[in-house]
Amino acid sequence: MKLLVINGPNINMLGIREPGIYGKNSYADLLALIEKTSLEAGIQIDHFQSNHEGAIVDTIQAAYGAYDGIVINPAAYTHTSVAILDALKAVSIPAVEVHISDVDSREAFRQVSYPGMYCEKTIKGQGIDGYRQAIVYLQEKYG
């Protein structure tokens, strides 16, 4: 099984960025957790981060035929991007949405998720452990 973890804008700033909301773990810590989870699960996991919506759309399109599952934190594009929603629908790869913070308890503009309309599960408010939970979910269901 091959999974792809996609992170949107500002996720590369983890640890520096609003630690009261997103925690003290850095992006490098997140990549280490993904690596550890892939070793434990015995599956290949690639990762991609971009601050650019089109680059995320390109990466989702390139995943077609290459990956069995996608874990995606679209970050701020969660609340605006029909393009990312349409790309996920286009490739039709099982996907889980992750949010480090509990978006439900935040501003009104964070209450809509366009990519979440495609994703079969959303994990929020679990910190970076949410990515591990998403990987385990996809492996148990499709691995």
Q: CB of residue 42 vs ligand DQA: minimum separation in angstroms?
A: 27
Count residues binding ligand DQA (CB under 6 A): 10
Q: Determine how many CB atoms are found less than 10 A away from the CB of residue 110.
A: 17
The Cα–Cα gap between 113 and 18 comes to 21
Per the residue annotation, which of 22, 27, 67, 118 is the catalytic one?
A: 22
Q: Known catalytic residue: 52?
A: no
Long-range Cβ contact pairs of 29-38 (< 8 A, separation 24 or more): 29/128, 30/128, 30/131, 33/128, 33/129, 33/131, 33/132, 34/5, 34/131, 34/132, 34/135, 37/131, 37/132, 37/135, 37/136, 38/3, 38/135
Active site residue 79: no
> How many helical (H) and strand (E) elements, i.e. helices and strands, does the chain have?
5, 5
Binding residues for ligand DQA restricted to 88-107, rule: CB under 6 A: 99-101, 103
Nearest approach, Cβ of residue 56 and ligand DQA (Å):
13
- Taking residues 31 to 60 in sequence order and writing x for each that binds ligand DQA by CB under 6 A, - otherwise, the string is ------------------------------
Question: Is 12 a residue that touches ligand DQA (CB under 6 A)?
Answer: no
Binding of residue 110 to ligand DQA (CB under 6 A): yes
Residues noted as catalytic:
22, 99
Residues binding ligand DQA (CB under 6 A): 10, 73, 75-76, 78, 99-101, 103, 110
